[in-house]
A and B are shown apart, each in its own frame.
Chain A
Amino acid sequence: MSDQVILRVATKIIVPTILLYALYVQFHGDFGPGGGFQAGVIFAAGIILYSLVFGLRRTQKVLPSWVARLAASTGVLIYAGTGVVALLKGGKFLDYSVLAHDPEHGQHLGILFVEIGVMITVLGVMITIFYFFAARGREDL
């Protein structure tokens, strides 16, 4: 669809805003509605919009398929890793209070890492599923 001028120009303006909004939702999830899932889905929606207008091939140069797959597993690793780090520091699994010098700061740190892990997994998964659906049956992709 990249021969339509209005779509092209509007998408170039909107997609960075969408990605920035996804990061806003992620990091302000502690103070208002939001959090990891919503941020990951909004980020994936921005990438999907870009791919609808500019084509799948160009999108895979921006965010290659292996990056999305790597992101899907890295997020789960970060989440479980936070739990294991809490174990190594002497607490229980996923007990964030021991992660820092102060229980409340430990909880903040734990929630931050965990939500980042969730966001990375969700965006990786949504983009991977979209790539696989969109490339099905097309031999040139």
Chain B
Amino acid sequence: MRILGLYNYWVFVFLMMVGFYILISRRNLVKKILGLNIFQTSVFIFYISMGKIIGGTAPILVEGEGEVVYSNPLPSVLILTAIVVGVSTTAVALSLVVRIKEAYGTIEGDEITAMDNEMPPP
């Protein structure tokens, strides 16, 4: 089990770093938003993997039958909230991208900075 746990956490670190890399190195704004999504989802995977009990079942109470081992419901609750907040952030970010495209004509970060540096602000 130790190797499964370590593999799990290391894949989570890899996914989080891939998302982080997309966020800071790519210049296209929509790609940055995709990187943010990957980053957020990897953190959810980490949380949920902490709530799992080997040999447990989903936390829905069953009638009778003596001892049943349930997995932890608490990380699920927190991550439900986090998923919905994540999609809200994505929606507002995408509408900002649409406005930027209409105002500047491009969604590449370096072109936007160059345009801002060239034209003096009114």
Question: Interface residues, chain A, CB within 8 Å of chain B?
Answer: 31-33, 37, 122, 129, 132-133, 136-137
14 A-B pairs with C-beta separation under 8 A: A31-B60, A32-B60, A33-B58, A33-B60, A37-B80, A37-B84, A122-B84, A129-B91, A132-B95, A133-B94, A133-B95, A133-B98, A136-B98, A137-B102
We find that the number of chain B residues with CB closer than 8 angstroms to chain A is: 9
Collect the chain B residues with CB atoms within 8 Å of residue A136's CB. 98
Known: A133-B94, A133-B95. 12 other contacts (CB 8 A): A31-B60, A32-B60, A33-B58, A33-B60, A37-B80, A37-B84, A122-B84, A129-B91, A132-B95, A133-B98, A136-B98, A137-B102
Q: Which chain B residue lies CB-closest to A37? A: B84
The distance from the CB of B42 to the nearest CB of chain A, in whole angstroms, is 21
Collect the chain B residues with CB atoms within 8 Å of residue A37's CB. 80, 84
**Which residues in window 91-108 of B have CB below 8 A to A?**
91, 94-95, 98, 102
